[in-house]
Amino acid sequence: MTSSPTLRVAAIQQTCSTDKQESLATSETLIREAAKGGAQLVVLQELHATQYFCQTEDTAIFELAEPIPGPTSGHLSKLAAELGIVLVGSIFERRMNGVYHNTAVVFERDGSLAGLYRKMHIPDDPGFYEKFYFTPGDASFNNGSSGFTPIQTSVGKLGVLVCWDQWYPEAARLMALAGAELLIYPTAIGWDMSDDDAERERQLEAWVTVQRGHAVANNLPVIAPNRIGTEPDPSGQSDGIRFWGNSFICGPQGEFLARADNSSQQVLTVDIDTGRSESVRRIWPYLRDRRIDAYGDILKRVRD
């Protein structure tokens, strides 16, 4: 990580429009606000250039996909270079005809592409029909190494994962074992409009708790930006999704450093103590005490 004792990071929580340029303009305004506040690393939410189109299956939506490099990646690259920040964005990537990904892109302070991560775990649930749109990630971008590989930047090794990946302890652990210094989860998650208040609270707290658990289990800070706003189901088959916001940043023992509300566009900015993970690992040596000789069954779908 950076040689400075602190790293100022920002997580951006925003609404999204059906107009891609309008959404990107909102992202840019908030990125500039984060940079003005001294952020060295700025993280945007999942698919921030569009509304969450996976509520329905529609082949016309593939027209939103872009290659990398392409218009959106070029725009983010220029912003990173102009502002001198490391910037994590999200793109609906057209890799080739018939192969599309949900891809996080990381740009260095000079605007160069430090790396990308193609979402590995792809959900397929009511209102979240991602398997229709996204091919699971692979290792091709990283010289044949695991898809769960941190991206080296001037502010440290970033363990970038995406949304549904946040429910899997294996993904966080593999990033940690590969040397990640931060875990980053760009997210788009919300409530079904028919959920009652009790169910909404359970879902939200589960989402927060599991990611704080990854921070604790791996002694790493976590940055988790989520979107806000109610977005209609284009098919009209449901009442849409109300995205619950609650973006947060926590430290390596799961302690909240910043947390947003459920309805406001916000820039969460905090200073992360870059030496704290090392200090915590010395007194809570989970990685030292792993029984790797006894974990073989984790590679099975079901343990018989």
1 within some domain? no
Identify whether 157 is a catalytic site residue. Answer: no
Residue 245 domain flag: yes
Q: How many domains does the chain have?
A: 1
What CATH number does residue 38 fall under? 3.60.110.10
DSSP string, 81-118: HHHT-EEEEEEEEEEETTEEEEEEEEE-TTS-EEEEEE
Catalytic residue among 20, 46, 54, 130: 46
Catalytic residue among 16, 54, 163, 250: 163
State the angle between helix axes of 197-218 and 169-177 in degrees (0 to 180), rounded to the nearest 10.
20
In a domain, 211, yes or no: yes
Residue 17 CB contacts under 8 Å (≥ 6 apart), including other chains = 23, 26, 51
Does 119 participate in catalysis according to the annotation? yes
- Give the helix, strand, coil percentages of the chain, each rounded to 5: 30, 25, 40
Digits of tens for pLDDT over the chain (304 positions)?
777 799 999 999 999 999 999 999 999 999 999 999 999 999 999 999 999 999 999 999 999 999 999 999 999 999 999 999 999 999 999 999 999 999 999 999 999 999 999 999 999 999 999 999 999 998 655 544 558 999 999 999 999 999 999 999 999 999 999 999 999 999 999 999 999 999 999 999 999 999 999 999 999 999 999 999 999 999 888 899 999 999 999 999 999 999 999 999 999 999 999 999 999 999 999 999 999 999 999 999 998 8
* 304 inside domain: no
What is the Cα–Cα distance from 143 to 157, expressed in whole angstroms?
A: 17
250 as an active site residue: the answer is no
Domain hosting residue 161, numbered range: 6-299
Question: Are the beta carbons of 7 and 156 closer than 8 angstroms?
Answer: yes
pTM for the structure as a whole: 0.96
Q: Is the four-CA dihedral 210, 214, 220, 222 of positive or negative sign?
A: negative
Per DSSP, the three-state class of 246 is coil
Q: Please indicate, yes or no, if residue 92 is contained in any of the structural domains.
A: yes
Catalytic residue among 119, 130, 181, 231: 119
